[in-house]
Structure 1
C-alpha cells in the first residue's frame, strides 16, 4: 500500500517536531520526578547497579521492592536500604521463570500493593567468541536480559494502564547502540531490550495512556564484577557508585 501525500507530510512534520523537541531538551532538561512515597520494584537488586539504584531511590524517599535470585545479596541490599530509613520489601525471584514471576508478583500485590515504578535491571553476561559460545549460555542470556522483561511487564503494566500512571524503566547497555565484539550474545539481547522499549512506548501511546511512561537506559562501561578485566579505548571504566555522576552511564549492562 502506497503512502498518500498527506501521510508523508504528516511523517515529515513529526520528524521535524521531534528534532526540535530533542534540541530543546538538551537546553532545558525535564524536571526530575518526585518519587517520594512511590513503590519502586527493582530486579537484580542484590548486586552492582541494582544495589546502587535501590540506594539512590531510597535516598529520594521511595519505598523499595527488591527482587533477586540471590537471597543473601538481596538481603544485604535490603539492610542498606533500611539504614537509609525507608520501607523495603525483599523477594527471591528467578525472572526467567514465568511461574516464579507470576507468583512473586501476586505476593507483591497482596503485601505491598501496585507498583508505581518497575525497573527491569537484572542481567547476565557470558560473552566470548561467537563460535565458542555454549548454547545454554546463549539461551540463558536472552532469558535473563530480554524475555524476563515480557514477564514482569505483563504482571505490572495492567494496573498502570488502568490508573493511567506509572513508569517502566528498562536497563539496556551501550551495546544496544553499537554491537561489541566477543559480546555478540549480550549485545543482541540488549538491542532487543531497546527495541522492546521503543515498541512498548508506541503501544502505550496507541492505547491513549499518556500517564504511563516507558524508558530505556543504555549505560556505559562500569566494572560490576561480571566481566573480567573490562577495558575501554575511549573512556575510563567506572565503578557502580561512580556511575551515579552521569545518568547515562550506569553499568556494563549487567546488575
Structure 2
C-alpha cells in the first residue's frame, strides 16, 4: 500500500511538472519571450568536443558570444574551436578538462578566470552513459556517471557562481535529460545522475531567490534521446 502511494506521488509530481512546462510553452507561443542578448557574454560549455555541446557552441558563436570550450577530448574540442572561429565568434578559448576530477575542474577554472575573465553563462553539458543493466555495470562506471553527469556541476558552480553574484549578472544552465524526470531501462546510473543534476540546479535556483540575489538566472534543459553517439542502440520503442 505504501509503495503504491509513493509511486502515485511520483507520478503526480512528474505529471505536474510536465503540465507546467506545457503551459509555459503555450504561453510563450502566444506571447513570445524577448530573446536574450548574449553578444559579448563569456559562455563556458562543458562537453563541447562533440554532440550537443558543439551545437551549442556554434549557436552562441553566431550570436557573438565569447566561447570557453571544455572537453576531455582534446582533438574533438579543437575541431569545435575551429568551427566556432569560422562561425564568427569574437574570441574562443579551448581547454582540455576532465570534468570527473574535482581538482582538474578547479585548476582549469582558475586558468579561465586569469586568461579570459568572469564566466557569465555556465552551461553544464558534459555527460556520459553506460547503457548497461544495473547489475552488469562495473562500480567504476557507476561512479564515473555521477562524477561527470552530476558532481561536475557542483565544482563548476563553486568556481563561477561567486563572481556572478558579485557582478549581479550570470546565467546557470543545467543540461539534464528526459531521463532526469523518469526512469528508463538500462539507464539506471544515467537517470539517477540526471535526476541529481536537475534537483541540484532547481535547489540552487530556489536558494538564489530566497537570498534575493539579483541578476542570477537559471535554466534546466531536459532533452529527449538525441543522435549524438551517446545513445547508440537506444530506441524509444
- Which residue of structure 1 lines up, in the alignment, with residue 204 of structure 2? 200
Contact 2:165 2:214 in 1 (8 A): no
- Which residue of structure 2 lines up, in the alignment, with residue 210 of structure 1? 214
- Partner Cα distance (1:152, 1:75) in 2: 21
- Which residue of structure 2 lines up, in the alignment, with residue 50 of structure 1? 53
Cα shift at 1:25: 4.1
Aligned residues: 215
- Partner Cα distance (1:188, 1:96) in 2: 16
Q: 2:37 aligns with which of 34, 39, 42?
A: 34
- Which residue of structure 1 lines up, in the alignment, with residue 3 of structure 2? none
- Partner Cα distance (1:99, 1:177) in 2: 30
- Partner Cα distance (1:29, 1:151) in 2: 34
- Partner Cα distance (1:28, 1:185) in 2: 39
- Which residue of structure 1 lines up, in the alignment, with residue 9 of structure 2? none
Cα shift at 1:228: 2.1
Tell me whether 1:114 sits opposite 2:118 in the alignment: yes
- Which residue of structure 1 lines up, in the alignment, with residue 174 of structure 2? 170
Q: 1:91 aligns with which of 78, 81, 95?
A: 95
Instruction: Please give the per-residue CA displacement for 1:42-71, whole angstroms capped at 9, x wherever unaligned.
Output: 000001000010001001111100000111
Equivalent positions of 1:134-173 (< 5 A) are 134-173=138-177
Contact 2:169 2:216 in 1 (8 A): yes
Provide the TM-score with structure 2 as the length reference. 0.87
- Partner Cα distance (1:84, 1:100) in 2: 29
- Which residue of structure 2 lines up, in the alignment, with residue 71 of structure 1? 74
SS at match of 1:210: coil
- Partner Cα distance (1:27, 1:196) in 2: 31
Cα shift at 1:109: 0.7
Provide the TM-score with structure 1 as the length reference. 0.81
Cα shift at 1:127: 2.3
Unmatched 5+ residue regions in structure 1? Answer: 1-17, 234-255
Instruction: Please give the per-residue CA displacement for 1:130-179, whole angstroms capped at 9, x wherever unaligned.
Output: 12111111000000000000000100000101111110101011111111
- Partner Cα distance (1:69, 1:127) in 2: 20
Tell me whether 1:232 sits opposite 2:236 in the alignment: yes
> Which structure dedicates a bigger proportion of its chain to helix?
2
Q: Which runs of 4+ in 1 moved over 6 A?
A: none
C-alpha RMSD of matched pairs (Å): 1.6
- Which residue of structure 2 lines up, in the alignment, with residue 123 of structure 1? 127
- Partner Cα distance (1:121, 1:68) in 2: 10
Cα shift at 1:24: 4.1
Unmatched 5+ residue regions in structure 2? Answer: 1-19
